[in-house]
Amino acid sequence: MPGLWFSMIRAQLPQNIYHRVLNEARDSPEAEICGLISAHQHTPVRCYSITNAHPRPASAFDMAAGELVCALRHMREQGEQLWAIYHSHPQGPGTPSSRDIAECGYPETLHLVITPHLEPPLHAWRYAGQDTMPVRLEIV
Ligand SMILES: [Zn+2]
């Protein structure tokens, strides 16, 4: 959908969170990792690693339901908001898969795909129906 690619948006990710999710992905070359990043007053502040409960974690992810509920509750108690969902593609491209988009429960949030084997290793997206829009990620 070429028209959507005009809407290049920006997002700022603090270095400490950037390194944390990248290291987490590097430490898991066999399985996709996943989790949430929360924000406080629109600034990303915290990373919630969540177990990938998918039966084929090498090529898909499914956030463990109990951990997801706990993380969202903790965010609410801390006055934080969901800022992004991240997961890795240990061997794959930096683009979300069609399944990533179709099975996403939070389409309105930012999505980060981490590819430790590629440069740059972090890719940010917004979903719009079945389409994706790239988001320019600035590490600050
Ligand atoms: Zn994916």
Reported CATH class of domain 7-139 = alpha beta
Residues 6+ apart with CB under 8 A from 48: 35, 36, 37, 38, 67, 71, 74, 75
pLDDT at position 7 over 70? no
- CA 30 – ligand 1 centroid, Å: 14
Query: From ligand 1's centre to the CA of 47, what distance in Å?
Result: 18
Ligand 1 centroid, distance to 98 Cα (angstroms): 8
What pLDDT sits at residue 95?
96
- Measured in angstroms, how far is the CA atom of residue 139 from the centroid of ligand 1? 21
pLDDT at 122 over 60: yes
* β-strand partners of 11: 137
Q: Spell out the alpha helix ranges (H) of 5-140.
A: 15-26, 65-78, 98-102
Ligand 1 center from residue 15 Cα (angstroms): 23
Q: Residue 128's pLDDT is what?
A: 85
Q: How far is the CA of 48 from the centre of ligand 1 (A)?
A: 18
For residue 39, name the pLDDT band (cuts at 50, 70, 90): very high
Provide the pLDDT for residue 4: 46
Burial label, 72 (beta-carbon count in 10 A; 0-12, 13-18, 19+): middle
CA of 23 to the centre of ligand 1 (A): 17
**6-28 mean pLDDT:** 90
Instruction: For 64-101, write each residue's pLDDT tens digit.
Output: 999 999 999 999 999 999 999 999 999 999 999 999 99
Whether 32 shows a pLDDT value over 50: the answer reads yes
Binned at pLDDT 50, 70 and 90, residue 108 comes out as: confident
The answer on pLDDT for 131 being more than 90 is no
How far does the centroid of ligand 1 lie from the alpha carbon of residue 79, in Å? 29
The pLDDT confidence band at residue 8, using thresholds 50, 70 and 90, is low
